[in-house]
Amino acid sequence: MDTKRTTFNNRLLPYLLLAPQLAITLVFFIWPAAQAVKSSFEREDPFGFSTVFVGFTHYQRLLADPNYLDSLWRTAVFAVSVTVLAMVLGLAFAAAVDRLARSAKFYTTLLVWPYAVAPVVAGVLWWFLFNTSTGLLPYFLERFGIRWDHDLNGTHAMILIIVAAAWKQISYNFLFFLAGLQSVPQSLIEAAAIDGSGPVKRFFTISLPLLSPTTFFLFIINVNYTMFDTFPIVDATTGGGPAQATTTLVYKVYQDGYVGLNLGSSSAQSVLLMLIVMLLTFVQFRFVERRVQY
């Protein structure tokens, strides 16, 4: 593959052009991340009077703490559920809209709306819908013999945050899937149609495989989203409860660091979280590079 090459006469210019972006990355990412790594090896009182180097103590404690391991497991459940739900629904809506001729734009607009809602508002919205005493959904669920109680029932609380987090992410997935579907060569679909395969078969044998780079990209993005950006949703709905049933990794970082002022352990958790996401991203690049070939 031959790449386009731009040559600069001035040797300084390319660095200058990169400088703003590099400065932002340095100040807002590298520097705080380095700080987190540093304080993850230290024990410090909240006011910062005494700082002691403690090596891997925080990491050892975390990995031996059943609460942390539970939180890790719960985050995995949460991340996979939200991702699957948001992606399946996003794809379903995209496939549906893709078949529309005139009203496609109208539906696209409507389906993209939730993405503009701030996560905390999305959380509050679903919290209202699921409110045990005044909510609409518990009222309907009661007719099916389900007593909704996310204040005490951990499973209910988990379902609540999964639904709220997925709802917000469907729009994003929908947009990417729609773009992906629209770039599937029409000739392939027509050829298959002439050979007598129905719309369902065409979707599963032609569109879906051709969408795989998009699918994989979205999978990583969605997992990252649930790992980091769902904090406001948890905070606004369950507050990590009941009995830590919805305390995801990122929420625990906040709880221990911001509320509990245990900076060392909280930093160690951030670093672990960062490593997990780095690993995921690494896998994505390796995998996508290979898959993108066809």
| Residues that bind another protein in the complex, under the rule CB under 8 A | 43-50, 52, 67, 132-133, 151-154, 239, 241-244, 255-256, 258-262, 265
CB closer to another protein, 222 vs 265: 265
Residues 149 and 156 sit within 8 Å (Cβ to Cβ): yes
Hey, is 211 helix, strand or coil?
coil
Torsion sign across C-alpha atoms 163, 166, 171, 173: negative
Residue 196's CB is within 10 A of a number of other CB atoms, namely 7
CB closer to another protein, 39 vs 215: 39
Q: How far is the CB of 157 from another protein (least distance, A)?
A: 10
Q: How far is the CB of 31 from another protein (least distance, A)?
A: 15
Q: How far is the CB of 248 from another protein (least distance, A)?
A: 15
Q: Where are the alpha helices (DSSP H) in the chain?
A: 13-25, 31-39, 57-64, 66-98, 104-112, 119-129, 136-143, 154-182, 186-194, 199-202, 208-210, 212-224, 231-237, 249-254, 263-291
CB closer to another protein, 50 vs 187: 50
CB closer to another protein, 114 vs 242: 242
Residues 264 and 44 sit within 8 Å (Cβ to Cβ): yes
Nearest-CA neighbor of 39 among 275, 268, 286?
268
Q: How far is the CB of 49 from another protein (least distance, A)?
A: 5
CB closer to another protein, 213 vs 242: 242
Give CA–CA dist 57/34, Å, rounded: 18
C-alpha distances in angstroms, 256 versus 194, 249, 261? 62, 11, 6
CB closer to another protein, 45 vs 190: 45
Q: How far is the CB of 156 from another protein (least distance, A)?
A: 10
- Supply the angle between the helices 57-64 and 66-98 in degrees, to the nearest 10: 70
Q: How far is the CB of 191 from another protein (least distance, A)?
A: 57
Residues 203 and 274 sit within 8 Å (Cβ to Cβ): no
Q: How far is the CB of 265 from another protein (least distance, A)?
A: 8
